[in-house]
């Protein structure tokens, strides 16, 4: 996540990476939560009678500083090496050095190379060790070792046999890059030549995807049919009879005037040959295989439990996404309890405000009644600017510090509106460029007034703008932390920020309060549906029915939600469990400190080191809590 666009890029890259980039996020790729491999305290050996005890050499500050400096150099070398190993991830990170390269990242040879890479760098870092490290140095060590070990542990599951789904389609990713709609730049002659050379790797990559899926068919590791049926239209949208009709021709149509006529002619001719004789045949082969061979072999089941060793695979996936020790059955029960608790909270708000009728009827009214719509774009923008002022006035009650970067509120540009979320955050640059909260004022009938407070809290202040802004100011973090990000932490903080609407006075209107509570209920229901689908043997219809009955979702919305769970198991849990972990840490600190507990100090401590896996966060807050409790004044 740093930066929402960057997080998406890291996610796409990391879905193709199985072990080469331990820090990425997301969510998406870690399998275990090992502690740091070495003790951080020297152990004094026992002395034998009448014998001089061996006394370890003292660890002076200079020795500790030397150890930290060694690790810092290793992290920098590691990052550069990881970008070279995976040129696609480098492109997504804005590192243009390898924009012409596309290795076969689905091949067995590349998987072995990736494994060796991770094992090598883990060994280098562990050889230096963590003894004597403190603060950010200790955190960086713990995070690097933990995530490298997790990546290696995840290799036991054959994710490579499932290289394509409707939510992760290599064909769509290559089309976005080749159309100039993604991270691949098309500004100079070199940029155009880079993509032409990179596209040389597309046929081999697609052929490898086919080979991997064939191995999956033989092993019984295949995608659900419902997902793959939706891949075909995605590929059909790319397939065109001529280069000029193809999305890959877009960079030619939009070629900058700064490129000379001779180069334009050469590039245009080269792209026509590349598209018609290299790229389109690869897409046709992939499409033909899926339609004729793979679809008949897909499964009717929806959850991972139907796959070989699927129960363990899903449990490992949850560990990657959430760093939790809880088993799927425990999380399923927790989600059910959370759903019922939120139903009760909504009922209480309705009763206190004399709102009659059922919860479902009220929600239908809130979604459809014109009184909850914005009259025009200016009214919508004005509401968010009003929220900005309201929060700023009360923020010192919950936060000690804010990022230096200012926050502006702007409407989404018209040409981006259709593909943009209702509200989105773009980080700025400290002391240089303000951050922007973009408000999508298109399709106004779908924008609800009661959703504005929670969206502002989540995306702006005290949500992503505060957390990401403060992290951005940690300039000395190694790049694997600064350019990575843990999804459960970042989005967990965003959800937690929504809950601060009560102390900040943003939920005084009962409809705003119910809107927030219902959003929380829908997220809890997703936890139940995800674990039900993958660990309880639920069918797609059972999961849809649960979301429709408990979260009042429409059939279309519930279908889309469940298909996302089928394609990305565990993703629905990471954000919610990130929020739950923050609340648990807060409650633990409050219980330990009693009347001396300071919410502002807790938030400052939680945010001061940037995002991190939840288990590392738990350990770090445990190290802080005794000191905070002992230094607190006695009431």
- Supply the DSSP string of 470-529, one letter for each residue: HHHT-TTS-HHHHS---HHHHHHHHHHHHHTTTTTTTT-SHHHHHHHHHHHHHHHHHHHH
pLDDT in tens, 166-181: 988 899 999 999 999 8
Residue 36, phi then psi, degrees to nearest 5: -55, 140
Residue with tokens 């695979």: 313
Angle between helices 614-631 and 135-154 (to 10 degrees): 150
Q: How far apart are CA 498 and CA 495, in angstroms?
A: 5
Structure tokens at 277: 């004789």
Q: Give the residue, 154 or 45, on which the prediction is more confident.
A: 154
User: In the structure, what pLDDT confidence band is assigned to residue 58 with cuts at 50, 70 and 90?
Assistant: very low
Strand, coil or helix: what is 358? Answer: coil
Backbone angles phi, psi at 521, to 5 degrees: -65, -45
Mean pLDDT, residues 375-396: 97
pLDDT digits (tens, 9 = 90+) for 6-42: 333 333 433 333 223 333 333 233 323 323 332 223 3
Q: What is the pLDDT of residues 599-618, one digit of tens each?
A: 999 999 999 999 999 999 99
For residue 51, pLDDT over 70 is answered with: no
Give the phi and the psi of residue 301 in degrees, each rounded to 5: -70, 160
pLDDT in tens, 509-560: 999 999 999 999 999 999 999 999 999 999 999 999 999 999 999 999 999 9
DSSP three-state, residue 436? strand
Higher pLDDT, 15 or 457: 457
Dihedral sign computed on CA atoms, order 97, 101, 102, 104: negative
**Cα pseudo-dihedral 131, 133, 134, 137, rounded to 10:** -140
DSSP 429: B
Would you place residue 61 in the very low, low, confident or very high pLDDT band (cuts 50, 70, 90)?
Answer: low
Predicted confidence at residue 62, as pLDDT, reads 66
Write out pLDDT tens, residues 114-153. 999 999 999 999 999 999 999 999 999 999 999 999 999 9
d(CA 122, CA 480): 14
Both tokens assigned to 420: 């943009």
* End-to-end CA separation in angstroms for the chain: 40
3 state DSSP class of 635: coil
For residue range 395-448, what is the model confidence (pLDDT) as tens digits?
999 999 899 999 999 999 887 888 788 999 999 887 788 999 999 999 999 999
Interval 295-325: pLDDT, tens: 999 999 999 999 999 999 999 999 888 888 8
User: Distance between CA atoms of 519 and 525, rounded to whole angstroms?
Assistant: 10
Domain boundaries, the chain: 4-36+61-159, 170-304
pLDDT digits (tens, 9 = 90+) for 492-509: 999 999 999 999 999 999
Range scoring the smallest mean pLDDT among 45-59, 139-153, 155-169, 255-269: 45-59
Compute the half-sphere exposure of residue 462: CA atoms within 13 Å on the CB side of its CA: 29
Sign of CA dihedral 473, 478, 483, 484: negative
Mean pLDDT of the chain: 88
**Other CB atoms within 10 Å distance of the CB of residue 411:** 16
- Look up the pTM and report it: 0.86
DSSP 8-state symbol, 58: P
> What strand order describes the sheet that includes 435-439?
407-411, 435-439, 423-426
Q: Is the pLDDT of residue 65 over 80?
A: no
């Amino acid at each position: 996540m740093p930066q929402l666009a960057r997080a998406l890029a890291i996610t796409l890259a990391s879905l193709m990476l199985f072990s080469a980039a331990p820090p990425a996020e997301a969510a998406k790729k870690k399998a275990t939560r090992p502690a740091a491999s070495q003790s951080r305290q020297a152990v004094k050996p026992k002395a034998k009678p009448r014998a001089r005890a061996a006394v370890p050499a003292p660890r002076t500050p200079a020795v500790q500083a030397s150890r930290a400096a060694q690790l810092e150099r290793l992290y920098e070398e590691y990052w550069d090496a990881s970008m070279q190993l995976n040129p696609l991830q480098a492109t997504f990170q804005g590192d243009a050095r390898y924009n012409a390269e596309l290795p076969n990242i689905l091949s067995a040879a590349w998987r072995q190379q990736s494994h060796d890479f991770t094992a090598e760098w883990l060994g280098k870092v562990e050889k230096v060790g963590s003894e004597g490290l403190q603060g950010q140095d200790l955190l960086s060590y713990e995070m690097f070792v933990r995530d490298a070990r997790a990546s290696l542990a995840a290799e036991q599951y054959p994710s490579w046999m499932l290289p394509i789904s409707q939510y992760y389609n290599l064909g769509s990713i290559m089309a976005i890059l080749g159309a100039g709609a993604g991270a691949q730049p098309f500004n100079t002659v070199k940029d155009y030549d880079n993509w032409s050379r990179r596209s040389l790797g597309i046929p081999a990559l697609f052929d490898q995807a086919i080979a991997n899926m064939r191995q999956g068919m033989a092993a019984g590791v295949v995608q659900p049919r419902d997902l793959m049926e939706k891949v075909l239209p995605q590929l059909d949208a790319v397939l065109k009879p001529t280069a000029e009709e193809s999305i890959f021709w877009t960079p030619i149509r939009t070629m900058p005037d700064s490129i000379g006529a001779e180069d334009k002619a050469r590039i245009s001719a080269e792209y026509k040959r590349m598209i018609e004789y290299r790229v389109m045949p690869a897409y046709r082969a992939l499409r033909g295989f899926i339609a004729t061979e793979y679809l008949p072999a897909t499964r009717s089941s929806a959850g991972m439990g139907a796959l070989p060793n699927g129960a363990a695979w899903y449990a490992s996936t949850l560990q990657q996404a959430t760093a939790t020790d809880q088993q799927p059955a425990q999380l399923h029960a927790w989600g059910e309890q959370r759903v019922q608790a939120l139903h009760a909270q909504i009922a209480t708000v309705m009763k206190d405000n004399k709102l009659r009728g059922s919860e479902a009827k009220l929600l239908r009214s809130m979604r459809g009644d014109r009184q909850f719509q914005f009259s025009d774009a200016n009214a919508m923008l004005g509401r968010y600017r009003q929220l900005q002022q309201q929060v700023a006035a009360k923020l010192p009650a919950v936060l000690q510090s804010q990022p230096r970067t200012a926050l502006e509120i702007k409407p989404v540009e018209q040409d981006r509106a259709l593909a943009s979320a209702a509200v989105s955050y773009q980080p700025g640059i400290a002391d240089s460029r303000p951050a922007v909260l973009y408000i999508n004022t298109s399709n106004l009938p779908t924008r609800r007034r009661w959703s504005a407070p929670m969206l502002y809290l989540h995306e702006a202040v005290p949500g992503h703008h505060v957390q990401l802004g403060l992290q951005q100011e940690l300039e000395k973090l190694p790049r694997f932390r600064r350019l990575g990000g843990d999804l459960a932490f970042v989005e967990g903080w965003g959800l937690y920020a929504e809950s601060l609407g009560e102390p900040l006075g943003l939920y005084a209107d009962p409809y705003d309060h119910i809107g927030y509570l219902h959003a929380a209920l829908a997220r809890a229901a997703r936890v139940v549906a995800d674990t039900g689908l993958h660990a309880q043997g639920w069918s797609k219809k059972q999961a849809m029915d649960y979301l429709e009955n408990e979260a009042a979702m429409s059939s279309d919305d519930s279908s889309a939600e469940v298909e996302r769970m089928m394609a990305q198991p565990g993703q629905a849990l990471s954000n919610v469990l990130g929020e739950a972990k923050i609340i648990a840490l807060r409650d633990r600190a409050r219980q330990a400190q009693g009347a001396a507990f300071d919410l502002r100090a807790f938030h400052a401590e939680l945010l001061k080191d940037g995002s991190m896996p939840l288990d590392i966060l738990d350990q770090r807050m445990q190290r802080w809590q005794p000191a905070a409790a002992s230094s607190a004044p006695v009431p």
